[in-house]
Amino acid sequence: MTYIISMAKRNQNSTQAQSGTERPLCQAMTPPKPSGPAFISLTQDQVAIVDAKDFGWLNQWKWCAVNTPRGFVAARNERMTGGIQGTFTFQKTIYMHRQIMNAPEGKMVYHRNYITLDNQRHNLRICTYNQNQQEAREYIEQLQTENRRLKKELTNRRK
């Protein structure tokens, strides 16, 4: 079960505790329906879309929105230790789409609809770098074809 604590609710509860009428600090959030999308809040006023069945275990971490050249992606940092007897620590960035698909090293996770915050399983696919580039070329060709069609339509309207 997921809980949300709002500052207004926290302030309201603290004043109620002073007056002697205590209420619980957390208010339970209604879990998402078993089918369909669920939403995970990110930083920078962004929201990630995930499957309802993945919502419970993904929502245990605090996810951040990371701005990349292709758009925002959901990520989290995890502290790791390494070296002889764990002599040093470092942070590893874990991307939500890679965690959902359990992608192995050397493979990419491709967003079929090019919306990088849509991390529903039907929108994700594990592929190689070359497969990803081929998909990107096909998508660019589709955009260029659509762009030419719209330009032609606009010039015909002006006549």
61 with 23, same domain: the answer is no
Do 40 and 50 form a contact (C-beta atoms < 8 A)? yes
9 with 58, same domain: the answer is no
Per the structure, the complete domain to which residue 46 belongs is given by: 37-127
Distance (Å) of CA 98 to CA 45, 89, 116, 139: 22, 22, 12, 22
Q: What pLDDT is attached to residue 154?
A: 87
Tokens (6 digits) for 93? 């960035």
Distance of CA 132 to the CA centre of its chain: 19
Q: What pLDDT is attached to residue 157?
A: 82
50 with 79, same domain: the answer is yes
Q: Would you tell me how many other CB atoms lie within 10 Å of the CB of residue 146?
A: 10
Nearest to 51 by CA among 106, 112, 122: 122
122 with 62, same domain: the answer is yes
18 with 81, same domain: the answer is no
What's the total number of domains in the chain? Answer: 3
12 with 67, same domain: the answer is no
89 with 135, same domain: the answer is no
Stated pTM of the model: 0.65
10 with 76, same domain: the answer is no
* CATH code, domain with 43: 3.90.75
159 with 86, same domain: the answer is no
Q: What pLDDT is attached to residue 82?
A: 76
Q: What is the pLDDT along the chain (159 residues), one digit of tens a residue?
A: 333 323 333 334 444 444 454 434 333 344 556 677 999 999 999 999 999 999 999 999 999 999 999 899 999 999 887 777 767 788 889 999 999 999 999 999 999 888 999 999 999 999 999 998 888 888 889 889 989 998 888 888 877
5 with 76, same domain: the answer is no
DSSP state of 124: E
